[in-house]
Amino acid sequence: MSFKELIAGLPMFEFFTDEELEAFSGIGHSLEEFHKGDVILGVGEGQPSLFLLVKGTVLITRTANNIKIRLSKLGPGELFGEMSFFTRKPRTSDVVANDDVTVIRMDDGFFEKVEPHIRDKIKNYFIEILIKRLDLMNEHIMKISRLMHS
């Protein structure tokens, strides 16, 4: 399967033209594979990259009081590592492969290679994902608030 075929069905590329998909495919990506249980990102790492999950699932976890807390489970088409990428601060969560995983690593060098109109489409997708996550977090806060006040 070609790289273009691999990414064509992902939500980030939904509004890409065939030519834009072809251009994106030709950039020379950092496609990486991980196996179940591999730590893809660890707490404290300062590497400014974000990742697009192409295949498989990952678990986002954080440890508090020696208890590992699962924050999220992500699947194909979703992003992780964006908070540290945008803030340039060390990572605050672990990302572990839940099964065999394929990701595209995106860093500053990657974005320098991307044509401006394609970069805008990627940016719009990032904004859409972050808004959905904020909405979900607000829903969780409301549920917790209702539980505390009942």
Whichever domain contains 62, its CATH number is 2.60.120.10
2 φ, ψ (degrees, to nearest 5): -75, 160
Q: Could you report the per-residue pLDDT of 68-106, keeping only the tens digit for each?
A: 889 889 999 899 988 888 888 888 899 999 999 999 998
From 74, 79, 72, select the one nearest 106 (Cα to Cα). 79
- Give the pLDDT score at 53: 94
The domain of 69 spans 3-148
Q: Could you report the per-residue pLDDT of 4-59, keeping only the tens digit for each?
A: 888 888 888 988 998 998 888 877 668 899 999 999 998 888 778 889 999 999 99
Tokens for 149? 């006040």
139, amino acid identity: E
Q: Could you report the per-residue pLDDT of 97-139, keeping only the tens digit for each?
A: 999 999 999 888 888 888 899 989 988 888 888 898 899 889 9
d(CA 2, CA 25): 9
Q: How far apart are the first and last CA of the chain?
A: 54
Looking at the structure of the chain, the number of domains it has is: 1
- Give the pLDDT score at 130: 87
pTM, two decimal places? 0.82
Length of the chain: 150
- Give the pLDDT score at 33: 94
